[in-house]
Amino acid sequence: MQNRCVNIIAHLFNAPLGESEAAVGVGTVGSSEAIMLAGLAFKRKWQNRRKAEGKPFDKPNIVTGANVQVCWEKFARYFEVELKEVKLRDDYFVMDPAKAVEMVDENTICVAAILGSTLNGEFEDVKLLNDLLTVKNKETGWNTPIHVDAASGGFIAPFLHPELEWDFRLPLVKSINVSGHKYGLVYAGIGWVIWRSKEDLPEELIFHINYLGTDQPTFTLNFSKGNYASLINCFKLKSAFYDAGSSQVIAQYYQLIRLGYEGYKNVMENCRENMMVLKEGLEKTGRFNIISKDNGVPLVAFSLKDNSRHDEFEVSHMLRRFGWIVPAYTMPPDAQHVTVLRVVIREDFSRTLAERLVTDIQKVLNELDILPAKITAKIAINGEGADKNITVVTKKTAEETQLREITTVWRKFVMEKKKMNGVC
């Protein structure tokens, strides 16, 4: 089942396979393990090449955008690879391909592009990165490859943007990871990593065992994930799939053959339509800037046009009263002054929920408009020398004043409601 899933996903990503050729890939514990494995393959291939050339191989680096998921930082730290990040900037919250290529040197094991940034869902321009890197490789002879982190977008782009070139159609893309538990429509715990060809996965990283009854090649950090023994025990003990190590592989295979291309396309189109409902509803309030893009992951990232009185963190906090958990976060350097709220649209997020969320956000905004603005500690210094008069409003005093103001406003608000409804 795992091998069948790998083949289906490899064909979805346009891997250059012969008619009877099997794809190279493996199921993993989410995209985090997939990225670790892909990074190890790049590091080992780079080291082998440097050794053959008689050059130093102790300072590998990888080039990414500052918007990468934390698992890339983990890979760099755990496996001793320098992480070189392209900083973001206002109105451009993904990696700039031109700046990324400028940072590439002879020690770069690969450039990692993201198809669906965690921060705003935007697809990075892998085609431009491939073209620019091809020119640099030709000039330097380095042959630096590309890995595409398609954790979110790998199950979206092939169905919503089939014309977009980001996958193995680009010659420098050597490996791709994707999360089955995101838009692969499987419950949490499954990821996939696919290599372009056998040559892109060093043989010395593959282990062969035969104590399960046949030769079983394995290249994972966690062997128990998806192995045949777990699957056999699952059927022997007649236990629920949820208790077996192979449950997510089974679920992924089921979804792939049950839905097929048209089924996944329908789900993704529905997610995009509900995203547009939410986006348009937020725009109609006139209070938000939309940070996300229409041609990315179906999510809406947005920020307040005016956060001088109340900020995005307050909106996030007050939305919890209505049952919504909407994260608020700051962008990475050099756009850390931008704060964003984000709503991810999944297959179970209906149009009705989108409309309800807009209504609840409007309620929160109306309540925040009534409340006094945040009060911060202020220090006013007047005069000079011995005659200077220093007036200090301490943090404690500010908090007490704010609390009194909020209490007064809420008491007035509650009393008005009691007069109208007869209840508190």
In a domain, 50, yes or no: yes
In a domain, 326, yes or no: yes
pLDDT at position 211, please? 78
pLDDT at position 391, please? 43
The angle at the Cα of 100, spanning 96 to 104, to the nearest 5 degrees, equals 175
202 & 252 share domain = yes
pLDDT class for 410, splitting at 50, 70, 90? low
In a domain, 265, yes or no: no
Query: Is residue 387 predicted with pLDDT exceeding 70?
Result: no
* 206-264 tens-digit pLDDT: 888 887 777 777 888 876 654 444 444 444 444 443 444 689 999 999 999 999 999 99
169 & 209 share domain = yes
Max CA pair span of the chain:
91
362 & 401 share domain = no
187 & 232 share domain = yes
Domain with 159 in it: what CATH number? 3.40.640.10
The total of structural domains in the chain comes to: 3
For residue 383, the SS3 value is coil
In a domain, 385, yes or no: yes
Read off φ and ψ for residue 299, nearest 5 degrees: -140, 160
* 129-183 tens-digit pLDDT: 999 999 999 999 999 999 999 999 999 999 999 999 999 999 999 999 999 999 9
Domain holding 402, by residue range, is: 378-421
Cβ-in-10-Å burial (0-12, 13-18, 19+) of 173 comes to buried
Mean of pLDDT values over 376-385: 39
pTM: 0.84
For residue 31, the SS3 value is helix
Alpha-carbon gap, residue 134 to 143, rounded angstroms: 8
Domain with 365 in it: what CATH number? 3.90.1150.160
C-alpha Rg value of the chain to the nearest Å = 26
Q: Facing residues of 27 across strands?
A: 192
* 11-27 tens-digit pLDDT: 999 999 988 899 999 99
Q: Note whether 7 and 74 are within 8 A (CB).
A: no
Of the CA atoms within 13 Å of residue 366, those in its CB half-sphere come to 8
281 & 402 share domain = no
